[in-house]
Structure 1
Amino acid sequence: MRIIGGRLKGLRLNPPKNLPVRPTTDLAKEALFNILQNQIDLDGIKVLDLFSGTGNLALEFASRYAESVMAIDRSIHCVNYLKDAARQHGLTQIKTFKADVFKYLEIETDQYDLIFADPPYDLSRIPEIPKIVFDKNLLLPGGLLIVEHQSMQNLGNHPNFTEQRRYGHSSFSFFTMESGDEGAESGE
């Protein structure tokens, strides 16, 4: 694993082998950030990283000057690894929280520009993530939810779904929070 952009570009990450994770591959991460760079300005955004694992994506967002990155994982070993990595590289905008993601979402009230969720692929509750995020209004207007999942899974039946991008066995499903009445006024 490595940081592919921003101030820590090229930094190799070497998390302990015993962490209970399946990190996003460098290829999929590069593709994701190429898409994001064409859709939003990553500088100064608020990010919520659900099922953060090694913190691979939290570190990437922080390297690219996100204003704040809240990383949630239920493994204390993952949370501690990410805390140490953030401290070691001066990424003070990363905050970690050890919790079950679904319990955390029940109490979360902040809004974010971008929410990224990389749950275990065998988790049966993956389709609930977009429903909870939009029911609780956790995205700012124009905000983006991205859920990583197995390519054979389809999350396209949610009304805020916009597209699915496949990278081998992994896919990213994108969901957007409309910007309110701005589109109606301009005739979009």
Structure 2
Amino acid sequence: MSAGKSGSRAAVAVKRAGRARVVRIIGGTWRGRKVRFPVFNWLGTRTPGARALDLFAGSGALGLEALSRGASHVTFVEQDEAAVRELRARLAEWQAGDARVVRADALRYLAGEARPFDLVFLDPPFASELLGEAARLLEERHWLKPGALIYVECAARAGLPLLPAPWRALRAKQAGEVGYHLFAHTAPVAADTV
């Protein structure tokens, strides 16, 4: 993976919900490129070498940050055609290594053949009911490796839906209208051991 133009501080504006969002990478190989998110302080050393899934990718900010910080692979899943085009262009411009962009409905994607991940980013549209269903499919369809980390963003006011039992809360924070959560996937307890 190469940083592309060294020293470049180019920002890419992405239209979403009628307003431009700037993406700025804050650490790693592509530092100085515009992205957002404090989650990587929580992840610490878990990003390098990780296989990551950026579900409901939008601008791809979370997955791009993961690649910049050494993730070995990121799959981006987004259904909006314009966002997918922009993300593919950004990955090509930044000469991203092992990245895959899938234009698909996230829930339909999760209903397909599972390729387990070490790290999953869930940032669905806040006004939707997608978070609970995505969590259920991630668990039931075996998309999570043992010990996987799951980062969730949701509307703070709405709170979290019922999440799978093997998801153990590690961190949580609220900033304004947004709730940030980090979970670890633990092995389920067998019924005969209880």
Common topology (TM > 0.5): yes
RMSD (Å) for aligned C-alpha atoms? 1.8
Alignment partner of 2:77: what SS?
A: strand
- Structure having the higher helix fraction is 1
- Equivalent residue in structure 2 for 1:177, among 178, 185, 190: 185
Alignment of 1:67 with 2:72, yes or no, is yes
Length-normalised TM-score, structure 2? 0.78
Distance (whole Å) between structure 2 residues aligned to residue 161 and residue 123 of structure 1: 23
Unaligned runs of 5+ residues in structure 2 are: 1-22, 190-194
Q: Distance in 2 between matches of 1:125 and 1:76?
A: 19
Query: Is 2:111 the partner of 1:106?
Result: yes
CA pair 161-131 structure 1, distance change in 2 beyond 3 A:
farther
Would the aligned equivalents of 1:130 and 1:145 in 2 still touch at CA under 8 Å? no
For 2:124 and 2:168, how far apart are their aligned partners in 1? 18
CA shift, 1:152, in A, is: 1.3
* Partner of residue 165, structure 1: 173
146, 150, 155: which one aligns with 2:155: 150
Using a 3 Å threshold, how does the CA distance of structure 1 residues 125 and 180 change in structure 2: closer, same or farther?
closer
Give SS of 2:29's match: helix
Q: What percent of counterpart residues are identical?
A: 28
User: 1:149 offset after TM fit, Å?
Assistant: 0.5
1:11 aligns to what? 33
- Determine helix, strand or coil for the equivalent of 1:110: coil
Structure having the larger proportion of residues in strand? 2
- Normalised to the residue count of structure 1, the TM-score between the two structures is 0.80
Q: 1:34 aligns with which of 29, 41, 58?
A: 41
Letter of the structure 2 residue corresponding to residue 172 of structure 1: Y
Query: Post-superposition shift, 1:174?
Result: 2.6
- Is 1:96 equivalent to 2:107 in the alignment? no
- Of residues 58, 61, 66 in structure 1, which corresponds to 2:63? 58
Cα pair 1:155 1:173 within 8 Å, conserved: no
Moved over 4 A (4+): none
State the alpha-carbon separation in 2 of the partners of residues 141 and 177 from structure 1: 6
Residue type matched to 1:76 in 2?
E
How far is 1:146 from its partner?
A: 1.6
Tell me what 1:22 maps to. none
Measure, in 2, the Cα distance between the counterparts of 1:151 and 1:107: 30
Deviation at 1:161, TM superposition (A): 4.1
CA–CA distance in 2 between the matches of 1:161 and 1:155? Answer: 13
Deviations 1:16-40 (A, max 9, x none): xxxxxxxxxx3xx0x2111111xx4
SS in 1 for 2:75: strand
How many residues end up aligned between the 2 structures? Answer: 164
- Segments of 5+ residues of structure 1 without an aligned counterpart are 14-25, 182-188
1:64 positional shift: 0.8
Shift of 1:153: 2.2
